[in-house]
Amino acid sequence: MMNSAWRLTTHENGIADLVLDLPGEKVNKLSTAVMEELRELMGQLGGMAEQIDVLLVSSGKTGNFIAGADITEIRSITTSAEAEAKAELGQELLNHWVELPFLTVCLIDGAALGGGLEFALACDYRVVTDSPKTKLGFPEVNLGIIPGFGGTQRLPHLVGKIDALDLILSGKQISGKQAYRIGLADAHLPQAFADEKTREFCLGLLTPEGSAAAHTHRKKARRKSLLLECTPVGRIIIYKLTEVELRKKTGGHYPAPFAALRVIRKTHRMGMRAGLKVERHEFGRLAPKQISKNLVELFFTGEALKHHPIMQGEGAPGAIERAAVLGAGVMGGRIAWLFSNKQIPVALRDISWEAVQQGCRAAHSVYKEVAKRKSLSASEISNAMQLITGTTEAGALGWPDIVIEAVVEDLETKKKVLSETEQLVEPDTILATNTSSLSVAAMSAALSRPEQFVGLHFFNPPNRMPLVELVRGPDTSDDTLRTVALLARKLGKTPILVKDCPGFLVNRVLMPYLTESVALLEEGADLRHLDQVFKQYGMPMGPIRLLDEIGIDVGSKVAGILATAYGERMQISPFFEGVTQHRDMLGKKTKAGFYLYDKKKPRPNPAMQELLPHTETPAAKFDDEQLKLRPLLLMVNEAARCIEEEVVESPAFLDMALIMGTGFPAFRGGLLKWADTYGIEQVYTTLGAYAEKYGPRFAPTPLIEELARKESGFYGL
């Protein structure tokens, strides 16, 4: 068959090989065409019982088994009936696969995700390798849908409900070792000997001893969950606790994990075909919804960022084998952790040993957090921490390939530190600044090699926040930009290229949201209610809590820089500036800010309430819509200016930056996607009304006016 994705080879020993190698693609996907081809092949396989004892399925792609269904097909779904039909096609195909007249084994060396893992579950046995690229999981909930090819039915039967719910509802990916531990895999083999050992495993299945050993492993893996699952009361406890945890994590904004839980619970006593019908009905209900459409578009935006032109270029980029961080505060220590976590030695420098120790403690505290989730041993943490060396000497950085400056947010201080460092490092060393708002161009003017200087803005806390803003200076070379972009990827971050302007992108768009929220407090709004409105909207925390997390002094300083740069629309109130004089009320770090943090649950700070201007306006005048729209629409207005000024390449990239840098709710698709959904004409009209009532800071930008006139949207640009 021309351009065949599947390749079948039989052998005299009764083991046949079926290799999936999708032509012209980097990864295997279960597209409709690939599944139809498999359906035809299965007609042939059904008559080969005398030739085949075991069919071994593997991939022709390095580091990939099957990445899942073709997401472009999910993107195109418009109706529930269409979605159900696609799910039924996959379900029926795998039902026929299960009925093949010989044993089926799949070798998973690389990613087996979504539909790829569902295909693996339909095999009789699964063998995984110890390659770091071997990952198994169901990412469907991250796309606003649920597994639709039988995953909700086959996985609980294989590994038990506790592990199945954990895997399906979280969207997480587990290693081959973890898959073997929970009974999802029947063998865990060294990658170097995977082919040979898998064939031994297949031959072993033809003996009573080999078959019994595989089933004994499954029983052992499931033993821990059977006590709870075997009784109705135990199952109720599992479901109830899972639902409580889901509500805590999602705020109820993401329907897909709740749908998956509902399917697994409802189909407990159903046969396979009845259960599959429930599964595909829920899949069909979710796939056409706006939440799924938003999450799918974000997936494609993420793919576009992974393959951005800044990552491409001729020749190998410079290798970053050693690093240094200047400024050993909490931020500097956590940036150092990023390097040590990827096995890159890093020097952490500050002017005092006390500061160096603080940075090392910050890195160690991250390892302790990770240990709770990934079972790191004390010796593993100790070995990783040994990659971080502290120093107070400017000349003791250890020949780094990159130096990241993370000192105090003051332009002259940064210029001085960078200039001095440039004289001490090798001529090809890259210098980067972690500034959140200051001019990269101004700093580069102090350097003799500005082509090797770049802005690399990590978001706090850098061990958790996935975004880094990549800021090109006026002389930054393409090689420097590419090397740093690829480094960011290696550190587990998503770099987004932004223009060198005050506040860059995220802080510039975020600051009007924060300052307008403070303005609402000054007008009499209740801070707890204001925060709750934004929690209900989907923000990880309200704007006032966020200010406390950032630090009121830090927020005020950045706001002042932006006010100087952008004039009246960014002006902050005397109250906001004045709060910073109260050094014991700077936010969570001083245990007091707008809230008090001396107890487990933060509560409003009476001392801060006393500082707020007293108005005669009752708080009741603010309805929830106004509390939400005033800060949000100022964000939209500033984001529109960023698009006009080409601070970022596209509305989609801007939305992704805000999701990864501020926690803007992904289910809404991003700020500008929300504005499009809300209606650009409505955005324009409301901004105009607010401008008349509250001042020119709300005056709609020319771009918003133009889009409203054309009845278009940001995503139509």
Specify the CATH number for the domain of residue 30. Answer: 3.90.226.10
Query: Does residue 162 form part of some domain?
Result: yes
Lowest mean pLDDT among 324-328, 540-544, 617-621, 694-698: 617-621
pTM attached to this predicted model = 0.91
Structure tokens given for 310: 């800044």
Span 91-107, average pLDDT: 96
Highest mean pLDDT among 3-12, 24-33, 114-123, 561-570: 114-123
Same-domain pairing of 448 and 335:
yes
Same-domain pairing of 485 and 348:
yes
Same-domain pairing of 93 and 38:
yes
225: confidence class by pLDDT, cuts 50, 70, 90: low
Which pLDDT score is estimated for 210?
77
Same-domain pairing of 25 and 100:
yes
Span 324-350, average pLDDT: 93
Same-domain pairing of 522 and 562:
yes
Same-domain pairing of 395 and 436:
yes
- Told to judge if 268 belongs to the known catalytic residues of this protein, a careful annotator would answer no
Same-domain pairing of 280 and 420:
no
Span 685-702, average pLDDT: 95
Query: Does residue 293 form part of some domain?
Result: no
Query: Does residue 407 form part of some domain?
Result: yes
Among 498, 520, 537, residue at a domain's last position: 498
Question: In CATH, what number is assigned to the domain containing residue 597?
Answer: 1.10.1040.50
Cα 404 from Cα 421, distance rounded (Å): 10
Catalytic residue among 96, 157, 188, 457: 457
Model confidence at 617: pLDDT above 70: no
The 8 Å CB, 24+ separation contacts for 370-374 are 370/341
Query: Does residue 307 form part of some domain?
Result: no
Query: Does residue 313 form part of some domain?
Result: no
DSSP 458-478: EPSSTTT--EEEEEE-TT--H
331: confidence class by pLDDT, cuts 50, 70, 90: very high
Among 498, 526, 550, residue at a domain's last position: 498
Show the beta-strand stretches assigned E in 478-594: 494-498
Q: What is the domain count for the chain?
A: 3
Model confidence at 423: pLDDT above 60: yes
User: Whole-number mean pLDDT of the chain?
Assistant: 92
Query: Does residue 300 form part of some domain?
Result: no
Model confidence at 2: pLDDT above 70: no
Same-domain pairing of 82 and 213:
yes
Model confidence at 612: pLDDT above 70: yes
Model confidence at 193: pLDDT above 60: yes
Same-domain pairing of 398 and 424:
yes
Which residue range is the domain that position 47 belongs to?
Answer: 6-288
Same-domain pairing of 275 and 339:
no
Same-domain pairing of 426 and 569:
no
Kindly report, residue by residue over 468-483, the tens digit of the pLDDT.
999 999 999 999 999 9
Same-domain pairing of 700 and 601:
yes
Which pLDDT score is estimated for 1?
41
Query: Does residue 442 form part of some domain?
Result: yes
362: confidence class by pLDDT, cuts 50, 70, 90: very high
Smallest Cα–Cα separation from 385: which of 354, 362, 353, 352?
A: 362
Cα 468 from Cα 454, distance rounded (Å): 12
Question: In CATH, what number is assigned to the domain containing residue 412?
Answer: 3.40.50.720
Query: Does residue 669 form part of some domain?
Result: yes
Among 454, 477, 498, residue at a domain's last position: 498
Kindly report, residue by residue over 262-321, the tens digit of the pLDDT.
999 999 989 999 999 999 999 999 999 999 999 999 999 999 999 999 888 766 677 899
Model confidence at 224: pLDDT above 50: yes
- Compute φ and ψ for 137, nearest 5 degrees: 180, 170
Span 198-221, average pLDDT: 86
Contact between residue 567 and residue 534 where contact means Cβ atoms under 8 Å apart? no
Model confidence at 200: pLDDT above 70: yes
